[in-house]
Structure formats: structure tokens, C-alpha cells
Structure 1
Amino acid sequence: MRTWTTGTAGPHPPVVLVHGGPGLWDYLQPVASLLDPVTVVHRYDQPWDGPHTIARYVADLEELRRHWGHERWVVAGHSFGATLAFAYAHQHPERTAALGYLSGVGVGDWRTGYQRSWRTRISAGQAERLALLEEMTRTRDEEVEFRTLSWFTDHADPVQGWKWAAQDAQHDAAINFEANAQLNAETSAWSDAQVLGWAGELTMPAWFVHGDRDPRPLSSVERLAAAVPRGQLIVIQGAGHHPWRERPVSFGETLRRLVVGLLGENPQ
């Protein structure tokens, strides 16, 4: 796996950032830069080759922890990465100093709320073009257009959001649609009772950070956060799905408080 390590070694636990997708690549360097002044920060690309299962992806994270030689670390995941970080924390509580659940989907039917919000942010013509592109064998330019149309609605500001999405769409790597389909199918099969039961077993501090303008509904994250004994919900006002872009100051302060506040805390 391709990895990156930045930051400053010190008294605070290291952090691993877990990107979303599934089927994408690491894009969390801007988040790492917000944490670099206070601790060591690791990032990595999730695997291209299968098997694409949560168990395998959790095992990859644990292998990386051993490789980097950390007893415990903060596991902070974004979007699908939040789901993966949650699964890791549940399976390896003794290794997880804290959980950062960033812009995740929570529990329950989040898709209905997401679709409702999505429809308010995209024009009929754009939605029609996106559906057409989705069914095509795309050229390079069409792939960039497809990604831009797919991602710009994640941002609170549609004008700046289009620019950010177009920038992200230029990445040379292909989207791993096989990984996306397999992992989404697995997590979609989890029942609410299962997920809430896992949440109730978490022993570490768990911060659920969500933009109030994220199309993924806040209510689903509120429900999950409430089930975690040491869960805390932090809502970033005016932020969409990538809060470090639209509200970097408040988002950065939140992450640093999570890490710095762990100093002296013993495993539960």
C-alpha cells in the first residue's frame, strides 16, 4: 500500500487518516496539515486488488499500525472511511485511543435524505447528463465531467463546490467500482440493531464531526453518536461533506482538541 507520514512526534497519540470512497484514493493531505503541528499523521491508499471486505480493510489498518510501531493511535475516517474507522475501533478497542467519525453516514436510512438534498443542488439538465455519462464507456474528458457532476453537490457552496469537484476530478487514478460495489453491499446489509449494538460497545472517546450542509443527513449521525457511551457530536456550521475546505479553522480546531485532549488518558 502507498503510505505517507507527516507531522511532529510528541506526547500526543499518532493519527491515521482513513479516506472515503470506497474505491477512491487518499485525498486527506489537507486534513493531515491541520494535525501536523501536534502529532504524527499517517495516510494510506486503500487496496486496489480484492478481496474487498470490511474484515480485510480492518486487517490492513491493523497491519499498518504494527508496521509503524504504535501501541495505540487515533483512527479518523472520512465518509466511507468513517465507517471503516468505526469497524476498526470496534474490533480493536485496545489499540484505538480515540475515534474520529468525519462526515459519515451514521445509521438508518440516510439515502432518502441524501437524495432529497442532492435534487435541490443539481439541475435537471445536469442530472440527465450525469445519468448518461454513468452508462457510457467514458473518454478522459468525459470521466472528468462525470466525476465533477458526481461530486460538486457535496459542497455547501455550489459555485466553489464545482471548482473543488473539477479539481478533484483531474486525479489520474481510476475509480475502483468493484471495490465500491462490494463494500457498499456489505455495509448496506448491516442492520440498524447490529450497528447500534457495536456503537454501545465502544469504550474510547468518539467524536462525530459533521457539516450542517452535508447532503448526508445529520440526523443519522446524531442517532449513531447518541449510542456511543463516550460519543460527542460536533456540528460544523456552514460546511458540506469536506468541512476542511469550507470551514478549515473550526474543523482544524476540533480535530486538534480531540488529539490534544487525550494526553494522560488510559485505555478503558
Structure 2
Amino acid sequence: MERTWTTGTATGHPPVVLVHGGPGLWDYLQPVAALLEPVTLVHRYDQPWDGPHTIARYVADLEELRRRWGHERWIVAGHSFGATLAFAYAVQHPERAAALGYLSGLGVGDWRTGYRRAWRARISAAQAERLARLEEMTRTRDEEVEFRTLCWFTDHADPVQGWKWAAQDAQHDAAINFEANAQLTAETSAWSEAQVLGWAGELTMPAWFVHGDRDPRPLRPVERLAAGVPHGRLIVIEGAGHQPWRERPVAFGETLRRLVVGGIPQEKTGVNRIPPGPPFA
């Protein structure tokens, strides 16, 4: 198992484990943990570097962590690819998941068409050409930072601030695990819509789907998945991109704390939209 972190304070509310995205990246969810620390215990961890890179192995790692930390049940909240992994954990260990948090995930069905359309609208021709060249190169440290920045800045709704955030994230010393990325992406892409919706229909715990309406990963596939979960609720944060804690931190933090503390009603509640508010505050 890779590095782990535990913050916050144990309360009467279920502990939360935050599952980072990628796949093939490292934990970057400390800012999300900070939003939850006043109300519960929060765990984070790095997903494994060495293979095998399979959903079954990654779910088993999560379950090992639950046993190690001594929790009977916990809230499993994942971001991006981590949302897919949290969903898989909830399907395989429903008795251990007090709730499911599906943050900025891909949903079910074709998300790539909408994503590519949004990506093309946010990147210039020169930037796209440079990214393609960098992708084929053996990159220096500076070129790697440039490559990551070009890959990530389009995730944010605000292009100027998004470039700054992406450049900041790109400075991380760890290498991207492209092998893990390729293997896990291939596995999850092979899941059929019928399979995923069948799993969704079996979930018995409250499940909350939080998505920014400016996320280049389109909302419709997430709507479809949320609608397939018996106790699912979709919360759309307007004006937020793929990392809503950055562009709408107050709204995102209030949403997560309310969901952890208050829970989700056990009836179908439809879609909740959080209207635009002050950016970055």
C-alpha cells in the first residue's frame, strides 16, 4: 500500500475516505479533506504504483484500508476516475459503504464526444499542436511540466486561473503512471452501459453525484447514472469545472458537509442546482 493520510476528528458521523483520480496519478484531495475535517474523520491515500492494475485489486486495497483503520462502515467519495473506483467499491461492498460520493465522474454512456467538443473550445490550435508534439517526445523536466499544464488547464471553467492551477499541479515530483492509466481505462471502457446501470440499480446506500456544469466531462452521462441509483441525488454546481473545490469552494464545501452530516433522504429527489456565486470564494 502507498502513502496514507488521516485528518479531521472522529464524530458521530461516518468517516470519509477520499479516492483520487487519474488513473495513474497521486493524491491531490487535501483541499477537499480540509472542507470535511470539521465534521468527521477523513482518510486519503495514494493508489498503488505497481501492478496488477485492475479494478478488483484497487477495490481490494480500499477494503484493506477500511479494515486497517478499524471502520465498520464509511463514506467512500471519489473524484474523476476515483468516482468510478468508489462506485465499484460500493457495488462490491454495499454493507461497508454508508454512502457513495461520486464527484466529477464520467457517468454512463458516451462522455468522450462532449468532452472533446469542450476541449477543442478551450484550447488554441497552437496549444493543441504543441501538446501533440510533447506527447511523442522523451520529455525534460520543464517539458513534462508544460505537457501536464497543457493536458490539465482545460478542466477548469476559467481559462486564465485554470492555467495557473494546472501549472501549479504540474510541478508535482511524482511521475505519471501511464501503464496504470492505460490498463484501468481499458478495463472500465469495456464495461457495457447495461452492466453499469445494472450495478447502479443494486445500490442500496445514499449516493450523491456532484458535478460542475462547466466540467468538460459532460453532465448527461452523470445524470443517467444518478437516475439509475435507487437513492441517488444529482447536485449540479453552476460555474464550476472539473475541480469544483477550486472554482466554487464555498458551495462545494457546504454541499459535502451537508451531505455527510445530514445524509440523503431515502426517496428519489431529482436534481439540485446550486446557482452561480462569487468565484474562488
Cα deviation 1:184-223 (Å, max 9, x = unaligned): 0000000000000000000000000000000000001000
Q: Distance in 2 between matches of 1:119 and 1:142?
A: 22
> Are residue 231 (structure 1) and residue 232 (structure 2) matched?
yes
Q: Indicate the residue corresponding to 2:4 in structure 1.
A: 3
* CA shift for structure 1 position 258: 1.2
**TM-score of the two chains, using structure 1 as the length reference:** 0.98
The root-mean-square deviation of aligned C-alpha atoms, in Å, is 0.9
Contact 1:8 / 1:39 at 8 angstroms: preserved in 2?
yes
1:9-158 equivalences in 2 (<5 Å): 9-158=10-159
Q: Distance in 1 between matches of 2:233 and 2:82?
A: 18
Contact 1:152 / 1:161 at 8 angstroms: preserved in 2?
yes
Opposite residue 168 of structure 1, the aligned amino acid is: D
Q: Distance in 2 between matches of 1:88 and 1:184?
A: 17
> Are residue 251 (structure 1) and residue 252 (structure 2) matched?
yes
Q: Indicate the residue corresponding to 1:177 in structure 2.
A: 178
- Number of matched residues? 264
* CA shift for structure 1 position 262: 3.6
In the TM superposition, structure 1's runs of 4+ consecutive aligned residues that sit over 6 Å from their partners are: none
Opposite residue 213 of structure 1, the aligned amino acid is: R
Q: Indicate the residue corresponding to 1:242 in structure 2.
A: 243
Q: Distance in 2 between matches of 1:236 and 1:2?
A: 31
- Identify the structure with bigger relative contact order (alpha carbons < 8 Å, sequence gap 6+): 1
Q: Distance in 2 between matches of 1:240 and 1:5?
A: 27
Q: Indicate the residue corresponding to 1:162 in structure 2.
A: 163
Q: Distance in 2 between matches of 1:174 and 1:33?
A: 25
Which residues of structure 1 form unaligned runs of 5+?
A: none
SS at match of 1:94: coil
Contact 1:97 / 1:262 at 8 angstroms: preserved in 2?
no
Cα deviation 1:65-119 (Å, max 9, x = unaligned): 0000000000000000000000000000000000000000000010010000000
* CA shift for structure 1 position 8: 1.1
Q: Distance in 1 between matches of 2:11 and 2:216?
A: 37
Q: Distance in 1 between matches of 2:263 and 2:62?
A: 21
Contact 1:236 / 1:251 at 8 angstroms: preserved in 2?
yes
**TM-score of the two chains, using structure 2 as the length reference:** 0.93
Opposite residue 106 of structure 1, the aligned amino acid is: G
Contact 1:12 / 1:262 at 8 angstroms: preserved in 2?
no
Which residues of structure 2 form unaligned runs of 5+?
A: 267-281
Question: Could you tell me the percent identity over the aligned residues?
Answer: 89
Q: Distance in 2 between matches of 1:148 and 1:260?
A: 36
